[in-house]
Amino acid sequence: MKYDVIIVGAGPSGIFTALEMVRQKSSKKVLIIEKGRAIDKRHCPKEETRSCVYCKPYCDITTGFSGAGAFSDGKLSLSYEVGGDLPDKIGSDQAQQFIDYTDGIYLEYGADTKVEGVENSGEVKEIRKKAIEAGLKLVDCPIRHLGTEKAQEIYLKLQHTLLEAGVEIRFHTMVKDFIIEEGKAKAVIIADAKTKKEEETLLSDRIIVATGRKGADWLQEMCLKHNINHSAGTVDIGVRVEVRNEIMERVNDVLYESKLIGYPAPFKNKVRTFCQNPGGFVSQENYDNDLAIVNGHSYKDRKSSNTNLAILSSHNFSHPFNQPIQYGKKVAELVNMLGNGKILVQRYGDILDGKRTWQHELQQSNVRPTLPDAIAGDLASAIPYRPLLNILNFIKAMDIVVPGFASRETLLYGPEIKFYSNKINLDENFQTNIKGLYCLGDSSGWTRGLMMASVMGVLMARGLEG
């Protein structure tokens, strides 16, 4: 089989590459290869079981059409200042121009017209004053909140558009390897995602890797095997914090999502908030080797009494160790070990007291966990000293901005690890040092999040048609 373009991965960057080609009336024969299922076939049994059943061969929360995006809280960051380093490559003006263009596509497919964080300028100034007092930086970023359930509806419409336009999508299929000859991409070797057998070779001179964070490990293997130029990226070690809505009420109403960055003493590592979910629910994602990772969801119509958000401490490694993905996995494995394979939850006050949290103590608190099968335990016995101290000191600073945030009964869930891919060396057309092999989205290490990954897909399509 010969295709003009093969896209590996049906996350936002892969989807928007194919979609923009359709919109540009391309005549090219396009194939998308996706390890998971079609979006209308994805389903998490936890909705019925109330406990993770560790689905095989992959987790439907992280794998399938639209990637983890379909089952996330569905936020589109509408500023070039948020979402990774793509503006460094293409320029901030062009990045903003294509954010606006891509946002228009999401609106066409049913995204909420309301933009959060663009009103109440006086109140934003007051929050910024408090942030400055705390030694934190408030990043202004308008947010379009799709909502977990609405995001799935939007991506289902996008899936229908691609299929109706003749884009071929092979679900439940994995790419095992590339065929590269004389520095040029020639083909991919695919197999059934469950059995990993029934291998087949598909030919193409243009292969686009868009595997997202989920494919970070696999892409690293490919880089080493085929000498694809890359550099070690960042790993974020963190927790998901959960408080009552009353604590976050002002920030939720004014900004919806407060993007705060600090460099707390003594280590001065970058620490930031991420993925704030007013009235949201703490959730679990599973990676292929059964790593249980915590995340958060926020629905349009279904609300809880709590707000959750991530606090992430960023770490880079160079010499003699430069494997950030493996480091993050080891931290996650240790936390999972203490939780017997489950997500751990601990009260902030218990960490300060040097004690673990017990299950019965959670029932006595104002903050009731929204992740029903989280196990009360001791995060401090698993998360390394440096990132944990960064997180604790950041929480103290947050208490100045949001009084009550550092309450003793504030819940910390772990592990929340962001496995960003190694940063792939790309030219202005997103091509690697292998001719005809391109890399997009979060898998490239250049973007973080739905919007910027989608933008990179649009730009990729324009380059192919240019």
Alpha-carbon distance of 410 to 417, in angstroms, equals 20
Block residue for tokens 């705390």: 134
Block residue for tokens 């009552």: 244
Amino acid identity, residue 295?
A: N
Q: What is the pLDDT of residue 51?
A: 77
Residues 365 and 285 in one domain: yes
Sequential DSSP letters for 262-274: E--TTT---EEEE
Q: What is the pLDDT of residue 466?
A: 65
Helix (H) or strand (E) holding 284: strand 281-286
Q: Determine the 3-state secondary structure of 218 from DSSP.
A: helix
Block residue for tokens 């070797």: 189
Q: What is the pLDDT of residue 289?
A: 65
In a domain, 386, yes or no: yes
Residues 211 and 357 in one domain: no
Q: What is the pLDDT of residue 408?
A: 97
Residues 96 and 77 in one domain: yes
Report yes or no: 180 and 434 within 8 Å, Cβ to Cβ: yes
Residues 241 and 335 in one domain: yes
Residues 223 and 305 in one domain: no
Q: Which residues contact 330 (CB under 8 A, 6 or more apart)?
A: none
Residues 78 and 207 in one domain: yes
Report yes or no: 35 and 193 within 8 Å, Cβ to Cβ: yes
> What are the distances in angstroms from CA 380 to CA 272, 304, 415?
19, 27, 11
Alpha-carbon distance of 165 to 168, in angstroms, equals 9
> What residue numbers bound the domain in which 197 lies?
5-111+147-230+424-465
Residues 184 and 267 in one domain: no
Amino acid identity, residue 370?
A: T
Report yes or no: 430 and 451 within 8 Å, Cβ to Cβ: no
Residue 38 is part of a domain; what is its CATH number? 3.50.50.60
Amino acid identity, residue 407?
A: S
Alpha-carbon distance of 232 to 316, in angstroms, equals 8
Residues 281 and 390 in one domain: yes
Residues 313 and 375 in one domain: yes
Number of domains the chain is built from: 2
In a domain, 431, yes or no: yes
Alpha-carbon distance of 287 to 296, in angstroms, equals 16
In a domain, 116, yes or no: no
Residues 328 and 438 in one domain: no
Block residue for tokens 């704030």: 276
In a domain, 273, yes or no: yes
What is the residue-level pLDDT of the chain in tens, covering all 466 positions?
Answer: 899 999 999 999 999 999 999 999 999 999 999 999 999 998 878 777 777 777 887 888 788 999 887 677 788 999 999 999 999 999 999 999 999 999 999 999 999 999 987 776 889 999 999 999 999 999 988 999 988 788 999 999 999 999 999 999 999 999 999 999 999 999 999 999 988 888 999 999 999 999 988 888 899 899 999 999 998 878 899 999 999 999 999 999 998 888 999 999 999 999 999 999 999 999 998 886 679 999 998 888 899 999 999 999 999 887 888 788 889 999 999 999 999 999 999 999 999 999 999 999 998 899 999 999 999 999 999 999 999 999 999 999 999 999 999 999 999 999 999 877 688 999 999 999 999 999 999 999 999 889 999 999 999 999 997 6
> What are the distances in angstroms from CA 134 to CA 30, 137, 388, 411?
51, 9, 19, 21
Residues 213 and 241 in one domain: no
In a domain, 157, yes or no: yes
- Nearest Cα to 407, choosing from 377, 366, 438? 366
Q: What is the pLDDT of residue 56?
A: 80
Residues 224 and 173 in one domain: yes
Rg of the chain in Å (alpha carbons): 21
